[in-house]
Chain A
Amino acid sequence: DTAVSQTPKYLVTQMGNDKSIKCEQNLGHDTMYWYKQDSKKFLKIMFSYNNKELIINETVPNRFSPKSPDKAHLNLHINSLELGDSAVYFCASSQYLGGRNEQFFGPGTRLTVL
């Protein structure tokens, strides 16, 4: 009964490749997010979708393209991977109703670009 799940858990790939990370939530939330945690453990938002609509798009290279087929899923596709993309990527979800913004996080996907 995992609330927010991500696949894969680990991803090791070569520079220049294209890869995707999938996220699913079964909490019935209307908003989903992608965060990047770098090697210094700094956590920064990348994207946010509300009811399949892009709401937040921080200054992220356009090699990163999120896709939300429905409000329970938010996938992240990365083109032409670079060494600097190595990080842990966390998906999160929330029900943004009444001003409460409690976010539930997935287990993370550790991406290593060689």
Chain B
Amino acid sequence: AQRVTQPEKLLSVFKGAPVELKCNYSYSGSPELFWYVQYSRQRLQLLLRHISRESIKGFTADLNKGETSFHLKKPFAQEEDSAMYYCALGGNAGGTSYGKLTFGQGTILTVHP
């Protein structure tokens, strides 16, 4: 079964401080991992996907298969980063997991001035 755990429901930092949002997953196949962000009362937007290994808005995330983690990091948080962040695990094509995204519980990040 697919499972995603985000242990922190709330995370508060000050502007300019480093931030790390934790995500651990459980999946028997080859995982496909994403970070989505939801700003206040807006739609979910894709922030990062592990296969592209890119940096968006200063955020990076590295897939660690040994620790089954996909933590999201940013060295210097900004106030506009305040939002809900979801880690998501995608299933493989075929079978009942086709196209399915399993989301973690979400972490609300608040960046104080």
Residues of A within 8 A of B (CB): 4, 31, 33, 40-45, 48, 50, 55-56, 90, 92, 94, 96, 99-108
Q: How far is the CB of B106 from chain A (nearest CB, A)?
A: 5
CB of A101 within 8 A of CB of B99, answer: yes
Bound Cα distance from A85 to B98, whole angstroms: 26
Q: Are B103 and A96 in contact (CB under 8 A)?
A: no
Chain A residue with minimal CB distance to B108? A41
5 extra interchain contacts, Cβ-Cβ under 8 A, other than A42-B103, A43-B103, A100-B49? A90-B43, A92-B44, A101-B90, A101-B101, A106-B43
Cross-chain contact of A105 among B44, B92, B105 (Cβ < 8 A): B44
Chain A residues near B101: list those with CB within 8 A.
33, 45, 101, 103
Residues of B within 8 A of A (CB): 32, 34, 36, 42-46, 49, 51, 84, 86, 90-93, 96, 98-103, 105-106, 108
Q: How far is the CA of A101 from the CA of B50 in the complex (A)?
A: 11
Say how far B61's CB is from chain A's closest CB, in angstroms: 15
A99 touches B93 (CB 8 A): yes
B43 touches A105 (CB 8 A): yes
Q: How far apart are A26's CB and chain B's nearest CB, in angstroms?
A: 15
Q: What residues of B have a CB within 8 angstroms of the CB of A48 in the complex? A: 98-100
A105, B100: Cβ atoms closer than 8 Å:
no
In contact, A99 and B42 (Cβ under 8 angstroms): no
Could you tell me if B99 and A56 are in contact, using CB atoms closer than 8 angstroms? yes
Does the CB pair A56–B96 fall under 8 Å?
yes
The distance in angstroms between the C-alpha atoms of A92 and B106, with both chains bound, is: 18
Task: Name the contact of A107 in the complex, choosing from B42, B102, B105 (C-beta under 8 A).
Answer: B42
Q: Note all chain B residues with C-beta closer than 8 A to A99.
A: 32, 92-93
Chain A nearest CB, measured from B20 CB (Å): 20
Complex alpha-carbon distance, A99 and B51, angstroms: 11
